[in-house]
Amino acid sequence: MALTGKQVRQLRSLAHHLNPVVHIGRGDVNDGVIEQTEECLEAHELVKCAVQDGSGLSAREAAAILAESTGADVVQVIGHRFSLYRASSRKDIEHIKLN
């Protein structure tokens, strides 16, 4: 799903206050990181991730790989952090209402 500019601005403002829950380190993006990201996206829809200094990937590269692997959209990349969004299929969570 391609996000509109208005939706990206809304998600960026929501992601600003989040702490990173997915950390990418020396192992780069592996199956464990992809699985953790999938679980976080299903539970929260909007996830902030951080790339550690030991990783061989830049934040932009890691964001592209994770977004492609999970079917998510990259919301924003700043420094060593990035945010991903994917609508959840769970019924028991409060969904983000995009404009």
How far apart are the C-alpha atoms of 81 and 24, rounded to whole Å? 10
How much is the pLDDT for 1? Answer: 63
How much is the pLDDT for 2? Answer: 83
Would you say the pTM of this structure is higher than 0.85?
Answer: yes
The yes-or-no verdict on residue 94 having pLDDT over 90 is no
How far apart are the C-alpha atoms of 96 and 94, rounded to whole Å? 7
Rounded to 10 degrees, the C-alpha dihedral 38/41/80/67 comes to 60
> What does the pLDDT look like over 48-87, one tens digit per residue?
999 999 999 999 999 999 999 999 999 999 999 999 999 9
The hierarchical CATH code for the domain 5-85 is 3.30.110.60
The yes-or-no verdict on residue 22 having pLDDT over 80 is yes
How far apart are the C-alpha atoms of 46 and 97, rounded to whole Å? 12
Mean pLDDT of the chain: 94
